[in-house]
Amino acid sequence: MEFTVIICTYNRAGNLPRCLGALAAQQGVEGREWEALVVDNNSSDNTPEIVAELAKKLPINVRYKREAEQGLNFARNTGIRESSGTYFSYVDDDIEVSPDWLASLFHSFITNDADAVGGRIHLDPSIKLPRWIRDKETMGFLGFQDFGDEPFRMDGKNRYPYGGNMAFNRRVVQRIGYFNPKLGRKGEGKKRSELFKGAETDYFHRLAATGEARIFYAPNAIVYHQVQPFQLQKKYFRTIHSNAGFQRAFYDDREFPHTIFGVPRFYYPHLVRGIAKYMLQVVAKGPDAAFRQQMTLGHLIGTMLGYYKSNSSTKRISLD
């Protein structure tokens, strides 16, 4: 087995026919040995039945594995253990891959002797974005990623693949281990206590820290993200930004010489300046134009809350 495509899913059985159907339409991989592995993260819907039906109907090898421990990184790690490919990749259950996607990943791995490869993530063109989503940076919080038409080597620190379209050589696991199950989304990601992102950021930073990371961008490996309606609300953006700050601070083991209520003292003037900047932007340009600053402010507040909570907690995240 050369390649395993891992689809981690939770209560989205309705997405699987489209997701797996696009995988079944791959071109340029004739003669390659590859499989699709669906990791069911303890779904309560009819995911097992849908996967069994698709495995019979589709002209590709489809396998099913259940992971009872809730959390995206638990599911990702189960996918690693259960896969048998020299290379493995992840696509979300709301992703539709392009016809040349898998062939492009193969090409990049073989040509570059790559440790990891990532491609473009575009949003479904049928989605109408709200007016306050003004640039590619903000679209990035919906999974959008596009570095242009030319392949290049990524550093793993400032540029690295996003979770909706990332693939690895199995030797990476031998080098840095598995995904950190403390990080990442829980459940459907609709509740504040579930909505944690950036787990792949930690993984790529760990890979980059080895000093020998060969991470490559494959522009022809294109996927399309089917954005959910709740992800187009300002509440969603505020929450993921606040939770990102909380998560980073909560697990920060550094010692700071000066703190107030467990929060490093230098964050307080940052908070005052952030509030002032946001208010000025609201007055000058309106709330939609100032929303990006509101997200930044939310990240700062989440960070401060994370430091506060970490000093009175057993390091188990709870935002309820």
pLDDT tens-digit map of 204-224: 999 999 998 999 999 999 999
54 shares its domain with 164: yes
Q: Residue 264: pLDDT above 90?
A: yes
Q: Is residue 161 part of a domain?
A: yes
CATH no. for residue 147?
A: 3.90.550.10
Same domain as 120, residue 72: yes
248 vs 81, residue with greater confidence:
81
128 and 239 in a common domain: no
Answer whether residue 202 is part of any domain. Answer: yes
What pLDDT does residue 319 have? 33
pLDDT category, 316, cuts 50, 70, 90? Answer: very low
First to last CA, the chain: 44
Q: 231, 255, 270 — which closes off a domain?
A: 231
**How long a stretch of residues is the chain?**
320
pLDDT value for 241:
83
Question: Domain check: are 208 and 81 in the same one?
Answer: yes
Is 19 in contact with 95 (CB distance < 8 Å)? yes
Its sign, for the CA torsion 150, 154, 160, 162, is positive
Residue 169 pLDDT class (50, 70, 90 cuts): very high
pLDDT at 190: 55
Same domain, 207 and 164: yes
In a domain, 315, yes or no: no
For residues 272 and 142, membership in a common domain is answered with no
The pLDDT of residue 74? 94
| Mean of pLDDT values over 145-173 | 95
* Residues 240 and 221 grouped into a single domain: no
CA dist 143 and 152 (Å) reads 20
Q: Residue 228: pLDDT band by 50, 70, 90 thresholds? A: confident
Q: Could you tell me if 97 and 19 lie in one domain?
A: yes
Question: At 191, is the pLDDT very low, low, confident or very high (cuts 50, 70, 90)?
Answer: low
Mean pLDDT computed over every residue of the chain:
90
Structure tokens given for 215: 């991470």
- Is 148 within the bounds of a domain? yes
CA-CA distance, 193 to 42, in Å (whole number)? 17
The reported pLDDT for the residue numbered 317 is: 41
pLDDT exceeds 90 at position 300: yes
Residue 108 binned pLDDT confidence (cut-offs 50, 70, 90): very high
Query: Residue 40 half-sphere exposure, CB side, CA atoms within 13 Å?
Result: 20
Residue 318's pLDDT is: 38
**Mean pLDDT, rounded, for 185-214:** 75
Give domain status of residue 320, yes or no: no
133 and 121 in one domain? yes
Both 221 and 247 in a single domain? no
At which of 181, 200, 231 does a domain end? 231
Same domain, 162 and 272: no
Give the number of domains in the chain: 2
From 164, 196, 231, the end of a domain falls on 231
pTM, 2 dp: 0.83
| Residue type at 200 in one-letter notation | E
**Which residues, in sequence order, are CB contacts of 79 under 8 Å at separation 6+?**
4, 6, 8, 37, 39, 65, 88, 90
Contact 114, 153 (CB under 8 A): no
Does residue 219 lie in a domain region?
yes
**Closest by CA position to 164, among listed 93, 233, 102, 83:** 93
Q: What is the pLDDT of residue 94?
A: 92
pLDDT of residue 75 exceeding 90? yes
Q: What is the mean pLDDT of residues 268-277?
A: 94
Average pLDDT of span 219-235: 91
Provide the domain limits for residue 240. 234-310
State residue 135's pLDDT score: 80
Assigned domain for 278 exists: yes
Mean pLDDT of 232-248: 86
Q: Do the domain assignments include residue 97?
A: yes
For residues 178 and 241, state if they share a domain: no
